[in-house]
Amino acid sequence: MEIQFLGTGAGQPSKSRNTQAIALKMLDERNEIWLFDCGEASQHQILNTAIKPRKITKIFITHLHGDHIFGLPGFLSSRSFQSSDEQTDLDLYGPVGIKEFVLTGLRISGSRLGYRINFHEIDSAGKIFEDDSFEVYTDLLDHTIFCLGYRVVEKNRVGELDANALKEAGLPFGPLFGKIKKGEVVAYDGKTFDPKDYIGADKVGKIVTILGDTRKTKTAVRLAWQADLLVHEATYEASESKMARAHGHSTTKQAADVAKEAGVNRLLLTHISARYVGPLVGQLVREAQAVHANTFVAKDLYEEKIG
Ligand SMILES: [Zn+2]
C-alpha cells in the first residue's frame, strides 16, 4: 500500500496547497484506490499522478465542510467519461447529508453517470466495511460539526508454503499442496503432513488511520492504536493551542501527542494553514518530531509506501 496526498491545505486552496484529499493506493493488495475526502480540484491534482479515476472504488468523507467535499461532483462526473466497459461502481461513505449534496449537484447540473454510486451514510461509530482482506472502522472526532475518522485494517494473511520442504518430505506436487495451504492435515503414502511444519508465520496486515478535522481527542488515540501510519491534521503550530481549540483543530504537538499515545509507527501531518510557508513548515516538522520522531509534514502529491 502507498499513500499519496492530493491536497494538504486547510480551509481554502493556496498556491502551494490544495484542499483536502488523500489517496490510499492498494493496487497490489486489491487493484483499487480508496480516496479520503475530495476537496475542490482533486481531479486536477489526480491529473498530476498515475492514479486512474476508475480505480477509485471507494470514497470516505470525513465531514461536510466544503474544503473536504467540493471536489465530489466534478470528480464523479469526470469519472464517467470513459468507455462503458470500464465503468466501475463506487461506494461513497460519509456523514448524513453527503447523499443529498452529491445527488443535488448531479441533478441540477444535468450530470448523468455511467456507473452506480452506493451511498453509505454514517451516523455512529462502528465497523462500516469488511471483506476477505480488509476491515474499516469509523468513530466520531471532535470538530465544529459531525466529523469522522477512519481506521483501515488489513487482515493477516497466511504465510508462505514451503513447497520444497514438502517435496523433500515425500509429497508429490499437486492438489494436496492446496489442502495444506488451507490448513488441513494431509495423509499420503503412510506419512502425515501437518501444515504448521510447512507454512511460515502469518503476514501481518497493515493498519492505516486517516482522521478528519479534530481537536485532540481520545477517540483519535483509539482509532490510531498501534497503526503503521496515522494521518492527522495539524492546522496550527504548537503555540496556537487556544486558536486550535476555538476552531475545532489541532496543533503539531497535539497531533504528535496522539501518535505517541497510540503507539503508531509513522505520523504524517496534513491540513496545514496557509500561513505556514517556507521555513515555517520546517518549524512545524521540528515541533512534531520533538514528541514523535518518525513524523513528516506532507505536501501536495507527496507519496510514500506504508510500513
Ligand atoms: Zn472542517
Same domain, 174 and 278: no
- Residue 123 is assigned to a ligand binding site: no
pLDDT in tens, 131-164: 999 999 999 999 999 999 999 999 998 888 998 9
The number of domains in the chain is: 2
Alpha helices (H) along 54-162: 66-69, 72-78, 98-108
Residue 139 labelled as part of a binding site: no
The verdict on 113 and 185 lying in the same domain is: no
254, HSE (Cβ side, Cα atoms, 13 Å): 25
Nearest to 36 by CA among 176, 265, 230: 230
Looking at 67, 139, 257, 300, which residue is catalytic? 67
All three cell numbers of 34, joined, read: 480508496
> Is 67 one of the catalytic residues?
yes
Could you tell me the distance, in angstroms and rounded to a whole number, from the CA of residue 197 to the centre of ligand 1? 52
CA–centroid distance for 227 within its chain: 12
109 C-alpha to ligand 1 centroid (Å): 26
Rounded Cα–Cα distance for residues 199 and 107 (Å): 54
Q: Are residues 190 and 109 in the same domain?
A: no
Residues 49 and 189 in one domain: no
Distance in angstroms (rounded) separating the CA atoms of residues 3 and 267: 12
Which grid coordinates are listed for 88?
466501475
User: Residue 169 is part of which domain span?
Assistant: 163-197
Q: What is the CATH number of the domain that holds 232?
A: 3.60.15.10
Domain check: are 169 and 220 in the same one? no
**Residue 292 assigned to a binding site:** no
Residues 222 and 298 both lie in one domain = yes
Q: How far is the CA of 218 from the centre of ligand 1 (A)?
A: 18
Q: Are 70 and 19 in contact (CB under 8 A)?
A: yes
Residue type, 71: G
Q: Is 249 annotated as a binding residue?
A: no
Query: Which of 173, 197, 221 is where one domain is finished?
Result: 197
DSSP tag of 182? T
For residue 289, pLDDT beyond 90: yes
Give CA separation, 153 vs 4, 113, 134, 136, in Å.
18, 31, 6, 6
Contact 1, 206 (CB under 8 A): yes
Which residues are within 8 A (CB) of 275 and not within 5 positions of it... i.e. 6 or more apart? none
Question: At 285, is the pLDDT very low, low, confident or very high (cuts 50, 70, 90)?
Answer: very high
Compute the Cα dihedral for 257, 262, 268, 274 and give only its sign. negative
Query: Do 189 and 86 have their domain in common?
Result: no
Q: Which residues contact 235 (CB under 8 A, 6 or more apart)?
A: 10, 213, 244, 247, 249, 250, 251, 271, 272, 273
Q: What is the mean pLDDT of the chain?
A: 95
pTM here is: 0.91
* Percent of all residues in the chain with a pLDDT value above 90, rounded to a whole number: 88
Are 38 and 186 found together in one domain?
no
Task: Find the 166 Cα to ligand 1 centroid distance in Å.
Answer: 56
Task: Determine the pLDDT at residue 267.
Answer: 98
Residues 134 and 251 in one domain: yes
User: How would you classify the pairing of strands 2-7 and 21-26?
Assistant: antiparallel
